[in-house]
Chains A and B, each alone.
Chain A
Amino acid sequence: MAPFSLFNKTSDINGFYAMLIVNRLQILYFILILPMYLVHPYMILGIVIIGIFSQINLILFSKWFTSNFSGQGYSAFVQLFGERKFRFFVLFGLIPMLLKIIVLTLNYVEAIHQFIFPSMNMLWLVLAILLISFYVSSKGMENTIHFVVIAFLFSFWVILCFIPFFFPPFASLSDLYPLIPTSWSMNSWKSLLFLWSSFSGPEYLICISPWFKRGQTIFKYLTYGNLVSVVEFLISFISSLLFFGSNYLSKTNYPIVTMARYLQSPIIERIDMILLSLHMFHFVFIISFLILSFYGGIRIVFKRVHKQTTRIGFLACCAVIFTSIAVVNQWFWEPGIKDNLWLSLEIWSSSVTFLLVPALLLAAIKLKGRSLE
C-alpha cells in the first residue's frame, strides 16, 4: 500500500487562499441564524464596528505571519513555548476545535432536518456529512486547502439571491429605523458577543501557516477576506430586516432559509432546498479542515509529530469525532431552542480563541525576541 501522508507539503499556497479560507471560516454556519440574534436595526452599526475590531485583531495576527516563526510550523512553536508547554496549549486547543465540529455539524443538520428531511433520523444526516468530510480530509491537507475554491464558488453567490429584497415592494425604509440604539440591554451585549464570535475563525490559519508562501504580505488577503465577510453579513442582515421587519424577525427560525423559500423560479419550487444543499460544500470544507487540524493536534499531544501519519490513527480520530457528535445528539441536544447551551458554549469558546490566539502568539514572539537580544 502507498504510504498514507496527510500533511505533506509539495508546493506553496498563495495568499489568495488565505483570503478565501478566512472568509469561509467567518461566514460558516452563523450566516443562517445571524439575523435572528441581531434583530434590532441598529445592529447594522454593530456589524460594522465589530468588523473593524476584527480587522484590528487581524493586524495583530498578521504580525505572526511576517515573523520568522510562521513558516516553520511545529518546530517554531516548540522554540517559542518549549515542548511541554506547547503540548499543553494544543491539548487546550483541541477542546474548542472539537466543540466547533460538534456544534456546527449538529446545527446544520438540524436545519436540513427541519427543511428537507423532517422524517429522517438526524444521525443519518450527520453520518452522510461526516463521511464526505472524512473523504475530503483523507486526501490530505493540501488538497483540502485547495477545496476551498470549490466551497467558495458554490456558496458565495447565494447571498446575491437576496438582493431583490432591497427593492420595493418588499423594502420600506421604515423597517430600518431606528438606526441608533435608543435602549441598551443585556441582550444587546449578547448580540455583540455573537457578532464577535461570527467573525472568529481566522485564528485557525496557524494550523496551516507552514503552507503559505514565505515573505508574502498575507495581511492584504486577510483584510480582503474580512471585508467580504462584513459585506456578506450586512447584505444578509439588512435584507432580512427589510423582508421580515424587526419584530417579526425575532420570532423566526432560520430567517435566511425562510427568505430563500420565498424566492421563486419557473423551474423549481423549493429553491431553499437547493441553496441549503449547496451550503454543504462550505460545511464539508470547514469540517474536513477542522478534522485534519484535530488529527494534527492529537499527534502533537501524543508526541507523534515526526512519525508517518497512519490510516489507523486517522480513522480513530474520525471515529472519536463521530461518536462525540452522536453522543451529544442523542443525550445532550435540545433542538430548536434559541439560547441553546451548546451554541452559547461555541459562541464563548470561539470568541475567546479569536481574541487570545493572536495576542498570545504576539506576546510569545516579543518575549522570545527580548530573551534573544
Chain B
Amino acid sequence: MDLKLDHHTKDGIEVVDVEGEIDVYTAPRLRELLIELVNSGYYQLVVNMEKVEFLDSTGLGVLVGGLKRVRAHDGSLDLVCTQERILKIFRITGLTKVFGIHDTVDEAITARKAEK
C-alpha cells in the first residue's frame, strides 16, 4: 500500500485526506503537498489520517514542519485520527500536546471555527 493524497476545501478550511503508509519513502510527497498548499495561501489545514495504515517519525516530522509553516502565517494544522496504533505514536513522542487531534473532520472544523 503506497500513499494516496487528496485535498478539498470545506467551510473555508483545506482538508487533506491521507491514505496508506507515511514513512521515510512516502513522507516527502506529503511534505511537498503541505508546502504547496501553504504557498498557495491555504493556512487553515485539517489533515485527515483516518485511512493511514502506518506512520513513522519521518511522517511526524513532516506534520510538525507543516504546523511550523502555517503558524508563520497565523494559521493552524489540526489532525483527525481515532486509530489507537497511530495515536500511540503521537503519545510516546509527546506530540499530542502540539497538535489538536479530533475524531472527525467536522469536529476539527467546528473546534477551529470556535477558536477564531
- Bound together: no
